[in-house]
Amino acid sequence: MMASTLSEELYEYLSAPGYEPQEMVDIARGMGLHPSRRSELKALLAEGVRKGNLLKLRKSLYVLRRLQGEALTGRISQRGSRLFFVADTGSARLLQALRPGADVGALLVNPYRSHGAMDGDRVEVSVRLQAPARDRRHKHRPQAADTRIEVRVLEILSRGRDRWVGTYKSTGRYGMMAGDGKTSPELVRLLTPPPAELLPGMVVVVEPKSYPIAHGEATGRIMQVLGWPEDEAVQITTIMHKFGLADTFPAEVLEESERIADTISPAELEHRDDWRQRCVITIDPESARDYDDAISVVRQGNNWELAVHIADVSHYVRPGSALDEEARSRGNSTYLPDRVLPMLPPRLCDGICSLREGEDRLTRLCLMQINRQGKVFKAEFKDAVICSRRRLTYPQVLDVLQGKSTTNDAEVDALILEAGKLAALLRRKRFEAGALRLDMPEIRLITDDHGAPVDVEVETGDEAHQLVEEFMLIANETVAHALNAHSLPTIYRVHEAPDPAKLSELAQELKAYGIKAGTLATREELNAVMDRIEGHPDEEILKVQLLRAMMRARYSPRALGHFGLAKGDYCHFTSPIRRYADLVVHRSFSRLSGSPAAPLPGPGTLAGIADHISETERNSAAAESEAQQSMMARFLELQCESDAPRAWDAVVLACWPQGMAVEVPLLKVKGFVSGADLPSDTSWYFERHAERWTSTDARCLYPGSRLRVVPTRVDAATGFADFKPAI
């Protein structure tokens, strides 16, 4: 009778919404099972596997066998003209049972079974395994790895966008809106008369009334006229509408933020560690307004004491409040070339929560003792209060590290120099442990008061940036390890190992570039390839290809490790002002610090939050990329009009009789150089050949060659540019 009862409890637990495959010990813990009954549970799991009711996945993870034809949930992602299904966390783990070891992060949707789904839509799908037809010309029996997963959309659970953006066309009774075919349909018939000020070619925002399902037409009503697409402000506003990004907050959210006291009560200070008299500093970009992390470093013999203070946003943003619901909905802040769309209202992110110089602020403290081997041998987690001694910028810190100047505060200077030594040690040890070296230079567009791009700035990972990066990484890891060790529910940052099939394709591609790659099965091999790429004629292109072979990092309620950082436990703890994931972690952190805390969310709720904020992160990244490309195109347009356009290093991608395709890797802009613009004594070759690795003749060009170019024309819609050789 007891076994039957336990069996029912087990299958009820495994069937719960949000359940992810777990090991036996985690199942027992989740069921609240007494240790004396674990042998009984083990027998039930084995029996379920034997009877075919359960699947035992890799690493002894158990899950119900309910895949073939089973409805799974996730979102639609459009790439080019094709639709892909991105599974929710739980569904993705179930899909792994169909194709162990394969990348099931994005599965192609059957184009005839898409049910009218569009990019960003949340859908329910069925999946089926399809084996390839047997090749009768060869005695080849299809293997399990040859099968593919067919995805069919069963139902659209919710639409990803509540508005469409496009250009107005004065055709038909009330006109049409021409969309981009991804975030909006290619054509939308308008149902109401256009505003008097609307002219053909202007950008409009349209409220959807019907969707293009089963050959039906899309219809809508004009909500707003944005203006002409050539206007920089309109370009950014268009992108915000396309990706559903808001630059204002609901009234109730603002009202709630206004009710928060901007002073700290004496009662609140009683249970906090007081660091106001200790040397604590912030280090941020020159343009930063929200300071969510501060550090203190003290040398103690052969060891260091590293204190990482993070703004205690969770003290002000309580679960279930209007502020919390809005922050969760946004998921993260979004950074566009001319503005920031914050996750929290300015009163919090720029004011009460920001660790400003000379002002008392509440923090969550991760206090670490680190030895000469770069290992944390003791960690304490506390609620604290600080008063930042100095607000420093990266250039200021770099000057101190390089001995070029001082801060005029001996204690601050000593802190920076000691921090530099510790950060260098942590960085060296991290790479020795196998962390991938995938740093790429970043470009930041400088805009004028009107939002027009006037210059670009290259941001490199100098010693000052590395100092902050290493301290944030080790704090994130230390907090994650403690939360996992105490079995506290939270959200982890996970980065799974790459799909072997993608690595095999990458190895073949690298071989074509003359780079010995091996199997790329380990981090050591990947880093060895990175070393070989360094200084290669196609370095930037090859780094991008390597990045594309990696899995996308995401959030999960399970500690699945971080492949790129070579860390077993990892979470996001250090930026709660701009990431909701960190806010969730801070609420779990309260159990470590012993502070009063609300009940922690269950596995199903955490899985839903993890999926949502993974999606908002991808959405923001796509918006930021499109905005960057749009503003970059405008920057190059202005360069074309300049009497002295700036020259850029370009790489030849391909050659044809009429000219060559090139890319400016730093700007991430592709274009064309006409043969007519090349010097008369220049030769170019259509294909790669052995000479490309040894030739030093500047007049001989082929794929992989480099040349200096200046822009002559830019297509604002595509970002594609025409270039000519720089004189």
> CA triplet 126, 129, 131: central angle to 5 degrees?
150
Decide which of 631, 664, 691 is a domain's last residue: 631
Greater confidence (494 vs 215) lies with 494
Do 716 and 614 share a domain, yes or no? no
Q: Which helix (H) or strand (E) holds 712?
A: strand 706-714
Classify residue 246: in a domain, yes or no. Answer: no
Provide the token pair at 725.
């050789």
Tokens linked to 332: 């993260």
Residue 245 lies in a domain: no
Q: How far is CA 397 from CA 392, 394, 418, in A?
A: 7, 5, 12
pLDDT of residue 7: 81
In a domain, 208, yes or no: yes
CA distance 411 to 391: 14
pLDDT for res 141: 42
Query: Is the pLDDT confidence value at 73 over 80?
Result: yes
Mean pLDDT across 284-312? 95
Residue 139 lies inside a defined structural domain of this protein? no
Distances (CA, A) of 416 to 190, 206, 405, 505, 702: 61, 53, 12, 44, 48
Q: What percent of the chain has pLDDT over 90?
A: 57
188 closest CA partner among 172, 201, 198: 172
Same domain? 469 vs 514: no
Summarised one tens digit per residue, pLDDT across range 607-624 is 999 999 999 999 999 999
Closest CA relative to residue 285, chosen from 386, 406, 398, 361: 398
Asked if residue 173 and residue 26 are part of one domain, the reply reads: no
User: Which has the minimum average pLDDT: 46-60, 73-87, 498-512, 590-604?
Assistant: 46-60
What pLDDT is stored for residue 689 in this prediction?
44
Average of per-residue pLDDT across 79-108: 74
pLDDT in tens, 205-261: 999 999 988 677 899 999 999 999 988 889 999 999 999 999 999 999 999 999 999
| Residue 168: per-residue pLDDT | 97
The more confidently predicted of residues 518 and 250 is 250
Partners of residue 611 on adjacent β-strands = none
**Which pLDDT tens digit goes with each residue over 54-66?**
878 766 788 776 5
Domain limit, last residue, from 64, 85, 103: 64
Question: Domain of 60: which CATH number?
Answer: 1.10.10.10
- At 562, the pLDDT band (50, 70, 90 cuts) reads very high
**Which range (241-245, 359-363, 595-599, 609-613) has the least confidence?**
595-599
CA torsion sign, 277 to 280 to 286 to 290?
negative
Predicted pLDDT of residue 549: 87
For residue 7, give the amino acid letter.
Answer: S
Residue 138's pLDDT is what?
45
Q: Do 80 and 125 belong together in one domain?
A: yes
Which CATH number does the domain housing residue 117 bear? 2.40.50
366 shares a domain with 223: no
What's the mean pLDDT in 591-608?
86
Distances (CA, A) of 548 to 79, 151, 661, 667: 14, 23, 21, 18
Residue 636 lies in a domain: no
**CA angle, residues 571, 572, 578, in degrees to nearest 5:** 165
Phi, psi of 282 (to 5 degrees): -115, 150
526, 598: one domain: no
Residue-wise pLDDT for 175-199, tens only, equals 999 999 999 999 999 999 999 999 9
Tokens 């995938």 appear where? Answer: 438
Residues 490-504 have a mean pLDDT of 90
Which amino acid, 715?
D
| pLDDT-based confidence at residue 603 (cuts at 50, 70, 90) | confident
Q: Please classify residue 618 by burial: count the beta carbons closer than 10 Å to its beta carbon, then call 0-12 exposed, 13-18 middle and 19+ buried.
A: middle
Q: Is residue 515 located within the same domain as residue 529? A: yes
Question: Domain containing 520: what range?
Answer: 500-549
Query: Model confidence over 368-417: pLDDT tens digits?
Result: 999 999 999 999 999 999 999 999 999 999 999 999 999 999 999 999 99
**475 plus 346 within the same structural domain:** yes
Domain count, the chain: 6
> How far is 312 from 576, CA to CA, in rounded Å?
8
Q: What is the DSSP-derived secondary structure letter of residue 110?
A: P
* Burial class (CB within 10 angstroms; exposed 0-12, middle 13-18, buried 19+) of 680: exposed
- C-alpha to C-alpha distance for 723 and 136, rounded to whole angstroms: 51
In a domain, 646, yes or no: yes
Q: How many residues does the chain have?
A: 727
Claim to verify: residue 593 and residue 698 sit in the same structural domain: no
Q: Where residue 508 falls among pLDDT bands split at 50, 70, 90?
A: confident
Give the least confident one: 90-104, 178-192, 571-585.
Answer: 90-104
The dihedral through the CA atoms of 137, 142, 143, 149 has a sign that is positive
pLDDT category of residue 53 using cuts at 50, 70 and 90: confident
Give Cβ neighbours of residue 135 (< 8 Å, ≥ 6 apart): none
In this structure, the answer to whether residues 374 and 476 fall within a common structural domain is yes
User: Helix (H, G, I), strand (E, B), or coil: what is residue 120?
Assistant: coil
Q: What is the pLDDT of residue 522?
A: 85
Sequential DSSP letters for 297-335: EEEETTEEEEEEEEE-GGGTS-TTSHHHHHHHHH-B-EE
Same domain (yes/no): 269, 406: yes
On whether both 76 and 40 belong to a single domain, the answer is no
Q: Which residues contact 306 (CB under 8 A, 6 or more apart)?
A: 295, 296, 297, 367, 368, 370, 422, 471, 474
Residue 476 pLDDT level (bands cut at 50, 70, 90): very high
Cα gap 370→306, rounded to integer Å: 7
Q: Report whether pLDDT(68) > 60.
A: no
d(CA 349, CA 355): 10
The answer to the question of residue 268 being in a domain is: yes
pLDDT value, residue 121: 93
In-domain check, residue 196: yes
Compute the distance between CA of residue 75 and CA of residue 107 in angstroms, rounded to an integer: 11
